[in-house]
Amino acid sequence: MEYIKNLVFDFGGVIADIDRDNAVSHFRSLGLTEADTLLDKYHQKGIFLEVEDGRTDARGFAEKLSKLCHRELSVDQCKQAWRSFFTNVPVYKLDYLNSLKNKYRVFVLSNTNPFVMSWARSKDFTSAGKPLDHYVEKIYTSYEMGCVKPDKKIFELMIKDAGIRPGETLFIDDGTSNIERGKELGFPTFQPKNGEDWRDSLTALLETMNED
């Protein structure tokens, strides 16, 4: 086994805690009756997929959602609805990511959209006033890369851009299909549960994997 030199984290469900039901309720309150069908923890459908794979931008999503809800909705209203997915951003996890940067290259690979990232990449992200970018080397987002996990293309684009080898890179994600794809491509993997404090488990795993 190769030594681990790089860590790739998912965002929602790993770094930040998510609640799909809360988001479904919020979008329903805007008038989206089919929110339960379109919204998923891991893989979106319809216009929700379009904004995550980059086919639709924030304004385009607001216009399409307005038509589905039969009312005029602003970009900010859409942002607040997307934000309702996220219930907590544990600062202790972010501090842990910072400490990992002393030994590893640390990245984020996320199925996400401009609404979520406009918050995550701002000073409003945490009480410390620092964006997600502060805690990692680079953030790879589905909407900017034009494809979503578990499509192998998004992994391949990240591998090429970051200049990393899958065998030296631990992939950390809470989605089973994403983990399975990572394994197919040669990544060692770690699958924590949403809301879990995975720091001790990850520390122990890395120590085992990097034993002489």
Point out the residues that are catalytic.
Answer: 10
Q: What are the Cα distances from residue 151, in Å, to 138, 173, 184?
A: 20, 14, 11
Distance (Å, rounded) from C-alpha 52 to C-alpha 143? 5
DSSP string spanning the chain? -PPP-EEEE-SBTTTBEE-HHHHHHHHHHTT-TTHHHH--SS---HHHHHHHTTSS-HHHHHHHHHHHHTS---HHHHHHHHHTTEEE--HHHHHHHHHHTTTSEEEEEE---HHHHHHHTSTTSSTT---GGGGSSEEEEHHHHT--TT-HHHHHHHHHHHT--GGGEEEE-S-HHHHHHHHHTT--EE-PPTT---HHHHHHHHHHHT--
Q: What are the Cα distances from residue 193, in Å, to 13, 17, 129, 197?
A: 7, 10, 26, 9
